[in-house]
Amino acid sequence: MWWTLPCARVTPYRCISDGTDGPRAFSLLHEINMSVEELEKKKTIDLRKKYIGPSCKIFFSHDPIKIVQAKGQYMYDEKGQRYLDCINNVAHVGHCHPEVVKAGAEQMGFLNTNTRFLHDNLVLYAQRLQATLPDKLSVCYFVNSGSEANDLALRLAWHYTGNKDIITLENAYHGHVSSLIDISPYKFHQLSDAEQNQFVHVAPSPDVYRGKYRTDHPDAATAYADDVKDITDNVHKKGRKIAAFIAESLQSCGGQVIPPAGYFQQVAEHVHKAGGVFIADEVQVGFGRVGSHFWAFQLQGDDFVPDIVTMGKPIGNGHPMSCVVTTREVAEAFMSSGMEYFNTFGGNPVSCAIGLAVLDVIEKEDLQGNALHVGQYLINLLEKQKEKHPLIGDIRGRGLFVGVELVKDREKLTPATAEAQEVIYKLKEQHILLSADGPHRNVLKFKPPLCFTTEDADLVVEKIDLILKELEEALGLKVNNSLNTENEKRRRKLSTDEKEHGGLNHSNKGVEQTKQRKRMKT
């Protein structure tokens, strides 16, 4: 009677047919056992239009992709066409990683219930996660999504500090629940002033390429942190009080922004003095993606420890789960409110089994090491492209979190928004999935599964090279050779030296560029 998982190769779940002639045979292509398509693509599109909220956007809306299967860093459409996936950071250890699937499938057959019962998976997983963090971050809350995690982080901060006001970064995105729209300028800039929440204060994005203080600034980290201090001072003058500063450790939707080293330390000092806590949002960038460290906030140095860390997307390789980790002090304050915290699905044995399997795979396959190695390889390839392509304004990244900012003019930094879209669409035609984001939608975002290889990097950069060449020819753009001389070479050398010290690529690059700009202006 007890059900066992099937011995034969898996077949997709099939539901009641929709008046069509039944499942259409699916050609066997590549090395994988392909899936069966249920509906003609047009029918899928029609049903989606009919039944799914129109605010839920699809990639390539004029000709969306129907994906039926995925493996590693590849996705497959209904015709068996393979796509190289450079964007799905959720499929962190590779799409449908067998060990993760096995862990989830087996635990689903045993027990899937809530945390009001004792279960080993919960505590062993919490212990394993904690071991990746500084000692002080020791108390876990398991929830279902990055949004739930960030919302809980706000609740923890509010209870612990007794204060209400939040400082967030320009262009930040922290999730889709209402409390997070309030602190996500990436979202709320679309709202009227009246709709924006008065307890939220926006600090400049620490973007040393396009931001308020650039690489020509003698100390951009301090300058950006001082702006946060100014906010805390102004808030106090208004008789309000700071509960928290929240930032992604590296800003993702905001344009793959890498804050200058030392920024978080100084911000934390200002925020603590103002009575608030520091929330590091690792939803997009955690779990070894940055290569040199397991958590992106660690790029700032060992002397920086946030008060609350939130996790999400990659944590379960696609399974809906997430986590908030904080200090004992914050956790005790939250408890002292007397309000129980219960999350129906959070921390269930299946989610924890999957979470443990993801950690196992990262370790066993040294995916963090791969992110460091392949990420640097990719950045080096892209740097070479920059010498050839005037459309490339900036290359920035850590591990397999890389941004390529396209500009029409390297001096004025005019965003090449349409061109970035063109690159994305042309890559799609060549079966490579990449996206563009940032406030001007001109930053090509690389955030592939961590099993991405140097060959994959070669392929995508080769295609980008050709697309940019065509675009530049059409636009009549040529690279200004004066921008690609000794200074650029020196910058790249610096960049390599800095990498070895775990520093930030940006620190001197802009100084050189600005000197150059000044020279060109005179």
Q: Which positions from 9 to 48 touch a second copy by CB under 8 A, shown as an x/- string?
A: xxxxx-xx-x------------xxx-x-xxx-x--xx-xx
Beta carbons of 214 and 505 less than 8 angstroms apart: no
172 is a contact residue toward a second copy (CB under 8 A): no
Q: In angstroms, give the least distance from the CB of 188 to a second copy.
A: 9
Q: Report the site for a second copy in 335-374 (rule: CB under 8 A).
A: 335, 337-348, 350-351, 353, 356-357, 360
Beta carbons of 83 and 65 less than 8 angstroms apart: yes
Helix or strand or coil: residue 255?
coil
**Judged by CB, which is closer to a second copy: 11, or 482?**
11
161 is a contact residue toward a second copy (CB under 8 A): no
**Judged by CB, which is closer to a second copy: 145, or 376?**
145
Taking the mean position of all CA atoms in its chain, how far away is CA 491?
A: 26
Using CB atoms within 10 A of its CB, is residue 220 exposed (0-12), middle (13-18) or buried (19+)?
buried
Q: In angstroms, give the least distance from the CB of 105 to a second copy.
A: 4
**Judged by CB, which is closer to a second copy: 225, or 450?**
450
Among the listed residues 80, 82, 187, 265, the single contact to a second copy using CB under 8 A: 187
- Number of residues assigned to the chain: 522
**Judged by CB, which is closer to a second copy: 42, or 237?**
42
Among the listed residues 62, 116, 237, 501, the single contact to a second copy using CB under 8 A: 116
**Judged by CB, which is closer to a second copy: 6, or 476?**
6
193 is a contact residue toward a second copy (CB under 8 A): no
| One-letter amino acid for residue 398 of the chain | R
Please tell me what DSSP assigns to residue 204.
Answer: P
| One-letter amino acid for residue 25 of the chain | A
Q: Which positions from 73 to 112 touch a second copy by CB under 8 A, shown as an x/- string?
A: --x------------x-xx---xx-x--xxxxxxxxxxxx
56 is a contact residue toward a second copy (CB under 8 A): yes
171 is a contact residue toward a second copy (CB under 8 A): no
Counting other chains too, the contacts that 361-369 makes at CB distance below 8 Å and 24 or more residues apart are: 361/93, 361/97, 361/99, 361/100, 362/92, 362/93, 362/287, 362/288, 362/450, 365/93, 365/451, 367/92, 367/93, 367/288, 367/450, 367/451, 368/288, 368/291, 368/294, 368/399, 368/450, 369/291
466 is a contact residue toward a second copy (CB under 8 A): no
Q: In whole angstroms, give the CA distance from residue 73 to residue 88.
A: 9
146 is a contact residue toward a second copy (CB under 8 A): yes
Q: In angstroms, give the least distance from the CB of 27 to a second copy.
A: 15
Beta strands in 418-515 (DSSP E): 432-433, 435-437, 443-446
What's the longest Cα–Cα distance across the chain? Answer: 85
62 is a contact residue toward a second copy (CB under 8 A): no
Tell me which stretch binds a second copy (CB under 8 A): 318-326, 373-381, 415-423, 506-514. Answer: 318-326
Token pair of 16 as six digits: 């009641």
Tell me which stretch binds a second copy (CB under 8 A): 122-130, 388-396, 422-430, 487-495. Answer: 122-130
Token pair of 517 as six digits: 């700009």
163 is a contact residue toward a second copy (CB under 8 A): no
Using CB atoms within 10 A of its CB, is residue 519 exposed (0-12), middle (13-18) or buried (19+)?
exposed
321 is a contact residue toward a second copy (CB under 8 A): yes
Q: In angstroms, give the least distance from the CB of 19 to a second copy.
A: 11
